Amino acid sequence: MTSTTPDTPAPRQARPEPPAGATVTATAVVWQEVAAWRRLTHALGVEVRRRLIPLVRANLVPLGVARQILQRAGLPPLPRMWAVQLAPAITRRASATSPDQAVQTFRDELHVAVRQALGPAATLAFDQPPRARATGPRETAGRRPYDLWSQPVITATVRADTGDQARTTAVTRLLDELAGLAGVTADLDNAARVQVEPDEHTPVELDVDADAPFQPHPLPPFFGVGQLTEARTARYLAMQARHHLAGQLRAALIDALVTGDLDAQPGRHAPYGLIDDLLRDLGLPGLPHSHQYEITTAIRLTVTADNPQTARVAAYRILRDASATCPQFGLPITVSSTHRDPEIVADGERSFRVTWHHSYLVCLRAAHCTQLAEQAVRLQLSVLADELPQIGTVPLTTVYLGEHADHRLDPDRD
């Protein structure tokens, strides 16, 4: 047995050399992880489209909101209908027995070509009738050559993801169809001749399999070639891309809730539960939950007014700072779904007694505590202490609603 002292440290054992090819194997594993992260990111983008389409079809999420959610996450938007107006300059060289016949044949064939290109609902209008000019003598059959010119206005609806795509699709289809007419030349090079805007009146039919098909994420041909350091960098970037997409989707969904785009009636659980389920179905953390309380109070005051309508306005001007639509900073208060009109009673000449009913939805994430919820409402009402000294003693009616997805959300924090 040998012993060592601090003056004579023990010799270090030699570290075994890695077997040949170990570095190559580690690099290949890291590149496989990169591929896995990229496939996860691609799958999340496809899956969110597949989840949103049934919600749009069921009128639970407006199409415009779904498009905004996808665009904010950097994903292609869902298709919509676009109203496209085209004003092509069209010329044709044809033969006819008279100018009227040449013009009528020209108009009839244009109508057919436009509907073939842009659908049966497409319309064709002429601000000025086509003009025909004879360019040669009559032939033996009584016909003579004519040059015809016109600039009709064509209106159609086109299904596309973006306005630029709708413009390109409409122009390409129309020019291809007109090219099949003998002697016809069409000019649509001027961008001012094509106007595109969203068509809010024509619904678009969305299909999950057609508009969000399952497609494997294609990897570049040179993927997986490089050193270990390069592979680790690619893995880090792939992980960040996945986290960024998940964060953008989450922020966009929460923002749609905060702005009220999903439901015009605040305080209900339906839109919040819908987004909570959607996030969980996508494999992401759901919305934060909170204990929720509906707290109502009746505030009585006397105002001077000429009639009940002006009395209501005067009372609101005094009480609006305590409403749930403008909670004080830091208070977990938002608007409740319960609403009750104020009671207005005449109290002498140009005097009215107004009983104003406030309803608050208090959301506590930390704990179930009725006293804490009521104290939050008391703090909200305290802004009226100067106008109404008795505001601190008004009775409160509290109803515990249970634990649900929080209604006080912040896209940047949550």
Residues in the chain: 414
Looking only at the bridges linking them, the beta strands covering 194-198 and 153-160 are unpaired
Task: Write a three-state SS string for 170-230.
Answer: HHHHHHHHHHCCCCEEEECCCHHHEEEEECCCCCCCCCHHHHCCCCCCCCCCCCCCCCHHH
DSSP track, 85-109: EE--EEEEEEEESSHHHHHHHHHHH
Looking at 119-185, list the stretches that DSSP marks H as alpha helix, in order from N- to C-terminal side: 163-179
**Predicted TM-score (pTM) of this structure:** 0.74
Architecture of domain 80-198: 2-Layer Sandwich (3.30)
Buried b (16+ CB within 10 A) or exposed e, 201-232: eeebebeeeebbeeeeeeeeeeebeeeeeebb
Contact 235, 33 (CB under 8 A): yes
CA–CA separation, 177 and 154 (whole Å) = 14
The confidence score (pLDDT) of residue 223 equals 66
CA–CA separation, 34 and 241 (whole Å) = 11
Reduced to 3 states (helix: H, G, I; strand: E, B; else coil), residue 268 is: coil
Per the listing, tokens 């409402």 go with 377
CA–CA separation, 252 and 277 (whole Å) = 15
The confidence score (pLDDT) of residue 25 equals 83
**DSSP 8-state assignment for residue 365:** S
Mean pLDDT (10-residue bins), the chain, 414 residues: 45 48 73 90 92 90 90 89 90 86 88 90 87 82 86 91 90 89 81 83 86 77 75 91 93 88 64 90 92 93 88 89 86 87 86 90 91 93 89 92 89 82
**DSSP 8-state assignment for residue 128:** S
The confidence score (pLDDT) of residue 335 equals 86
| CA-only gyration radius of the chain, Å | 35
Q: Which residue type occupies 49?
A: R
Q: Break the chain into its structural domains and give their ranges.
A: 21-77+207-287, 80-198, 289-405
CATH number corresponding to 289-405: 3.30.2030
Residue of 41, 19, 52 lying closest to 212 (CA atoms): 52
The confidence score (pLDDT) of residue 99 equals 86
The 3-state DSSP composition of the chain as helix, strand, coil percent (nearest 5) reads: 40, 25, 35
The phi and psi torsions of 11 (rounded to 5 degrees) equal: -65, 140
**44-50 CB contacts, 8 Å cutoff, 24+ apart:** 44/242, 44/245, 44/246, 44/249, 44/282, 44/283, 45/73, 45/75, 45/245, 46/212, 46/213, 46/214, 46/215, 47/282, 48/73, 48/75, 48/249, 48/282, 49/75, 49/78, 49/211, 49/212, 50/208, 50/212
Q: Is 289-405 the same fold as 80-198?
A: no
The residues, any chain, with a CB within 8 Å of residue 117's CB and separated by 6 or more, are: 173, 174, 176, 177, 178
The confidence score (pLDDT) of residue 203 equals 86
β-bridge partners, 184 = 92
